[in-house]
Structure 1
């Protein structure tokens, strides 16, 4: 019983600490606010169920990000098989802007960025999502299973892709 309580406390502390990042990761793969909540709930369930197997080879936060990303990619794959249209995506930074906010130059750039991120393949979208969460390359490497050097090369390549896409939309 004591161990279960300790495990639960560790889980709750980690969830509180990383909840906003996990939600933003889910928002990249969600169609709307309800879908984001569903993805987040599914990720939390998966994290809780996997807690007894956590081996501290990575930080608890890194491990939670990996599970969340895998849940999002797995569910996205299932959804794509059920329909032919593209998924809509909420930008991880757009949610901080009020919907009624005037269309400022920054807001317009964020809309363009969101549209360009939406065009990326799953691997690029996963890497740039974690990069935008300001995770270090080492941690992105642990989450994705890519080498740190490969992550760095991908981030540079993805930034170039996004810049070209944004320029084309201007």
Structure 2
């Protein structure tokens, strides 16, 4: 049992910031993101005994995170209380130090990302977390080449959206 708890603790410490940022990107409020974060941790705890090691544990945790976020999003859409938003997300803690012009560009980018389809948005969020295409492919459940193609298309869409 000690090894199980140690594995959970180390996995939590290594992934908590990324998990929270992903949760925050699928909610409107920090309080909702914190609730979703707790739900992800509970789901990881429950599923950890079934982890077979076929993929990196971080990849497995991201998949649980996305599944939990999608489930919550589906539930919230039914209640019509929340929207998919990423405004306010600070992936690299850079927005605090941005000039007004850069902040406007950042806000425009987050708005454009917000307009993407849910699957494309997930790919972008994992990309912004600096996951390699191989891990993104494992999390999303598509081939690495498909991730590369989708990223090229997403970048084109974002480029068009950002241009005035």
TM-score under structure 1 length normalisation: 0.89
Say if 1:91 and 1:148 are closer, same or farther in 2 by CA, change over 3 A. farther
Distance in 1 (alpha carbons) for counterparts of 2:91 and 2:128: 12
Q: Which of 42, 50, 53 is the aligned partner of 1:56?
A: 53
User: Counterparts of 1:58-97 in structure 2 under 5 Å?
Assistant: 58-83=55-80, 86-93=83-90, 96=93, 97=95
Which ranges of structure 2 fall in alignment gaps of 5 or more residues? none
Following TM superposition, by how much is the alpha carbon of 1:90 offset from its aligned partner in structure 2, in angstroms?
3.3
TM-score under structure 2 length normalisation: 0.92
Q: Does the CA-based 8 Å contact 1:31-1:87 persist in structure 2?
A: yes
Q: Indicate yes or no: 2:149 matched with 1:161.
A: no
Distance in 1 (alpha carbons) for counterparts of 2:91 and 2:100: 12
Which ranges of structure 1 fall in alignment gaps of 5 or more residues? none
Following TM superposition, by how much is the alpha carbon of 1:127 offset from its aligned partner in structure 2, in angstroms?
0.7
Quote the residue 1:135 is aligned against. Answer: 131
Per-residue CA deviations over 1:107-150 (Å, capped at 9, x if unaligned) read: 11110011111111111011111011110110001101011111
Query: How many corresponding residue pairs?
Result: 163
**RMSD (Å) for aligned C-alpha atoms:** 1.8
Q: What stretches of structure 1 move > 6 A for 4+ residues in a row?
A: none
Quote the residue 2:26 is aligned against. Answer: 29
Q: Does the CA-based 8 Å contact 1:26-1:40 persist in structure 2?
A: yes
Following TM superposition, by how much is the alpha carbon of 1:7 offset from its aligned partner in structure 2, in angstroms?
0.3
Q: Does the CA-based 8 Å contact 1:93-1:110 persist in structure 2?
A: no
